[in-house]
Amino acid sequence: MSEHPRSADAHAVGLHDEPVDADVVRSDLVYAGRVWDVRSETVRYGDGEIVRDFVAHTGAVAVVAIDDDERVVLIQQYRHPIRHRDWEIPAGLLDIDGEPPIETARRELAEEVDLVAETLELLVEVFTTPGGSDEVIRIFLARGLTAAPEAFAREDEEADLRVERVPLAEVIDGVLAGRLRNGILATGVLAAAERLRRG
């Protein structure tokens, strides 16, 4: 079997996703939601046109907060679309104009788990659902955790938010065993474990 013509180049410069500036012939707002919208776009691609519907997303951040005992700060809350109270890492939308993602991460850490981090560094950026959404989430690693000056008042799904500190190895075991299925949690803790392993 012959190698893909770009395979050698990709390995030479490092494997990476490639941006494509496809010609959008038509873009319609199908649904305007409270948090995000749904668009239908006709795009010239290859020898023809394709129509794709997708969620137009604001983008988001998430935080893998690991304390001095190598425990991950997890939250559990109700998520209506999946009818589960799943385990997650603190996360939130990029919904404040001009706020840098790292500051959104700091804010979400304080608002969701009442913590402040001494250091906050970008771990990974992820396309969460590239076939159905343009969302990009930036996942940060937080270390040097201390209590926030004051607790944050929570409502809606966050009103009965459960917060636990769980050893990193146990969280990874839960992901690999299929007991913890949140994709952002899985990506974040696996990336954090590898970052820590590499020093």
Catalytically annotated residue among 158, 164, 170, 194: 158
Could you give the residue ranges of the DSSP H alpha helices within the chain?
7-13, 101-113, 168-176, 183-198
- Please tell me the predicted confidence (pLDDT) of residue 149: 86
Closest CA to 172 of 68, 79, 90, 89: 89
- Please tell me the predicted confidence (pLDDT) of residue 150: 80
Torsion, Cα 158 160 161 167, to 10 degrees, reads -170
- Please tell me the predicted confidence (pLDDT) of residue 117: 98
pTM, 2 dp: 0.88
- Please tell me the predicted confidence (pLDDT) of residue 160: 81
Residue 99 is among the residues annotated as catalytic for this protein: no
Confirm if 166 and 72 have CB atoms less than 8 A apart.
yes
Confirm if 62 and 140 have CB atoms less than 8 A apart.
yes
Could you give the residue ranges of the DSSP H alpha helices within 19-144?
101-113
Digit-by-digit pLDDT tens for the chain (199 residues) are 445 555 555 556 789 999 999 999 999 999 999 889 999 999 999 999 999 999 999 999 999 999 999 999 999 999 999 999 999 999 999 999 999 999 999 999 999 999 999 999 999 999 999 999 999 999 999 999 999 988 766 666 566 889 999 999 999 999 999 999 999 999 999 999 999 999 8
Domains defined along the chain, listed by start = 7-56 (no CATH), 60-198 (3.90.79.10)
- Please tell me the predicted confidence (pLDDT) of residue 194: 97
Tokens 């950026």 belong to: 125
CA-to-CA distance for 41 and 56, rounded, in angstroms? 11
Confirm if 126 and 184 have CB atoms less than 8 A apart.
yes
